[in-house]
């Protein structure tokens, strides 16, 4: 008998949600996390949930605080030329909404639920290594005090993010990487000020900007900045004046500024590694793919991968391998849908080095067409709120 059915590497949203769903489905599992619990909770991440994500969390019994504290968005708003604002009403067009609820809170909810059900979690597990993943009796080892501890299992779920060990355990000859780096980053701040009531993206000659929220007294803002900058190049005054300059007056007049309580610069990247299964190893979330944050898809893709993967493992233990055999193919269909959409929206809204006046006008024309065409808005909304699960 192996020590557990599924060894889960990584306790981010992907790993913890998988553990939660497997426990609910009666599949034994252990979670190994390299960092401390507090370290994971202190990471500031994105915060817009697709409705499929909201429903997955609710169905799993994880929706109570989200429903009490989250903010429902009916629309996505895009400003350009410093004057026009297009509001794409996803609720009117498709009957679907989004939820603003920070990943930090989801992480807290997942750990709390783990405590309640007595989930087996090992924090600060150093030196995690995967073994025999090309067999049906794989194992995971990690450094434990005096020696090395080994957990044998039926399957390993690699939920250890972009810099984890799982993906790298697949021989390079057995996988294909698709990679794209963007020549800029996002400088993000949190401030304890009332946010705009809407989610607002802006295309501007000075560069992209985004206004988002966490709670009624916590705002999240971003401006496009070169990755050669550091946060020290962006004192609060410079950040606010640059943000306001990139928004139409009708919106910038409504922004309440204040001291930042967090500031960071993050690169933008598109990346997919195929396949998402190799032998008894299954990848989920950032371990297999990264999208630029422009479409707010990173966390949502982690949730849809885990939806497919938990279903596959649970069905396996009742004798049905249909979903396990198709996991990679099924997950990748949704991943590529989001990868394409995030790339397109990033390309549409940012200012690229060497962008010519022609390129700028072409972006503005695409936005004008989006504003004029309900067909175009429906296509946009369908992808923003998230393609349905299979
Ligand atoms: N051993 C054990 N744990 C590891 C290892 C390792 N070698 N390497 C990384 N980890 C842990 C990280 O410390 C982290 O807690 O794996 C976890 C991965 O979590 P995330 O990076 O949050 O990735 P994921 O769970 O796939 O979440 C998807 O959505 O919005 C995006 O990037 C955002 O985190 C977000 C993601
Ligand atoms: C955020 O609130 O952090 C956020 C919102 C929308 C995005 C990306 C990030 O596209």
Q: Is there a contact between 202 and 78 (Cβ–Cβ < 8 Å)?
A: yes
User: SS3 sequence, 150-168?
Assistant: EEEEEEEEECCCCCCCCHH
Residue 52 Cβ < 6 Å to ligand 1 = no
Rounded Cα gap, residues 298 and 46, in angstroms: 8
Distance in Å, CA 287 to ligand 1 centroid: 7
User: Which residue's alpha carbon is nearest to atom 35 within ligand 1?
Assistant: 299
Residue 158 CA: which ligand is closest?
1
Q: Which helix (H) or strand (E) holds 361?
A: helix 357-372
What's the angle, vertex CA 138, arms to CA 135 and CA 141, rounded to 5?
150
Distance in Å, CA 11 to ligand 1 centroid: 7
Instruction: Please state the φ and ψ torsions of residue 180, each to the nearest 5 degrees.
Output: -150, 120
Which residues partner with 129 through β-bridges?
Answer: 141
Token pair for 55: 């429903």
Q: Best substitution site from 106, 199, 350 to test ligand 2's pocket, by max atoms within 8 Å of Cβ?
A: 199
CA distances from 70 to 65, 214, 381 (A): 8, 8, 20
CA-nearest of 123, 106, 159, 126 to 37 is 123
Q: How far apart are the first and last CA of the chain?
A: 33
CA-nearest of 278, 275, 286 to 338 is 286
Q: Best substitution site from 45, 47, 197, 349 to test ligand 2's pocket, by max atoms within 8 Å of Cβ?
A: 47
Distance in Å, CA 276 to ligand 1 centroid: 16
User: Which residue's alpha carbon is nearest to atom 15 within ligand 1?
Assistant: 12
Distance in Å, CA 347 to ligand 1 centroid: 26
Q: Which residues does the chain have with pLDDT short of 50? A: none
Q: What is the predicted pLDDT for the residue at 67?
A: 97
Residue 104 CA: which ligand is closest?
1
Q: Which residues are catalytic?
A: 73, 201, 293, 297, 384
Q: Are strands 209-215 and 200-202 parallel, antiparallel or unpaired?
A: antiparallel
348 C-beta neighbours (distance < 10 Å), count: 20
Ramachandran class of 82: left when φ > 0, alpha when ψ lies in -120 to 50, beta otherwise:
left
Each residue's pLDDT tens digit, 40-68:
999 888 889 999 999 999 999 999 999 99
Rounded Cα gap, residues 206 and 218, in angstroms: 25
Each residue's pLDDT tens digit, 98-120:
999 999 999 999 999 999 999 99
Rounded Cα gap, residues 256 and 243, in angstroms: 12
Task: Establish whether the linkage from the previous residue to 275 is cis, with ω within 30° of 0.
Answer: yes
User: Which residue's alpha carbon is nearest to atom 6 within ligand 2?
Assistant: 296
61 C-beta neighbours (distance < 10 Å), count: 13
Which ligand 2 atom is nearest residue 214's CA? 2
Distance in Å, CA 361 to ligand 2 centroid: 25
Residue 165 Cβ < 6 Å to ligand 1 = yes
CA 335 to chain centre: 11
Residue 75 Cβ < 6 Å to ligand 2 = no
């Amino acid at each position: 008998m192996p020590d557990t059915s599924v060894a889960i590497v990584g306790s981010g949203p992907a790993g913890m949600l998988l553990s939660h769903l497997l426990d609910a489905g009666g599949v034994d599992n252990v979670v190994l996390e390299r960092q401390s619990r507090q370290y994971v909770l202190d990471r500031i991440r994105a915060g817009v949930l697709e409705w499929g994500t909201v429903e997955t969390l609710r169905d799993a019994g994880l929706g109570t605080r989200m429903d009490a504290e989250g903010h429902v968005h009916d629309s996505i708003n895009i400003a350009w030329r410093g004057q026009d604002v297009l509001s794409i009403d996803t609720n009117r067009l498709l009957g679907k909404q989004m939820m603003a609820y920070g990943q930090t809170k989801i992480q807290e909810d997942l750990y709390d639920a783990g405590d309640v059900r007595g989930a087996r979690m090992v924090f600060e597990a150093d030196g995690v290594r995967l073994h025999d993943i090309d067999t049906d009796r794989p194992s995971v080892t990690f450094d434990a005090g005096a020696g090395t501890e080994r957990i044998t299992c039926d399957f390993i779920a690699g939920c250890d993010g972009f810099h984890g060990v799982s993906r790298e355990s697949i021989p390079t000859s057995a996988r294909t990487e698709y990679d794209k780096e963007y020549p800029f980053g996002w400088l993000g701040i949190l401030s304890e000020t009332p946010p705009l009531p809407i989610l607002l993206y802006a295309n501007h000659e000075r560069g992209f900007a985004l206004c988002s929220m966490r709670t009624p007294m916590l705002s999240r803002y971003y401006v496009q900045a070169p990755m050669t900058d550091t946060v020290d190049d962006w004192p609060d005054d410079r950040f606010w004046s640059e943000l306001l300059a990139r928004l139409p007056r009708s919106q910038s007049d409504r922004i309440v500024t204040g001291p930042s309580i967090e500031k960071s610069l993050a690169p933008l990247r598109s990346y997919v590694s195929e396949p998402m299964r190799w032998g008894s190893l299954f990848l989920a979330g950032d371990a297999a793919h990264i999208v630029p944050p422009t479409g707010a898809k990173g966390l949502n893709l982690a949730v849809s991968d885990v939806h497919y993967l938990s279903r596959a493992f649970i069905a396996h233990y009742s004798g049905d391998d249909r979903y396990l055999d198709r996991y990679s193919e099924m997950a990748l269909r949704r991943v590529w849908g989001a990868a394409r959409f995030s790339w397109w929206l990033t390309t549409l809204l940012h200012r690229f080095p060497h962008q010519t006046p022609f390129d700028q006008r072409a972006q503005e024309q695409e936005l004008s067409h989006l504003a004029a065409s309900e067909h175009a808005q429906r296509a946009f909304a369908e992808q923003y709120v998230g393609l349905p699960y299979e």
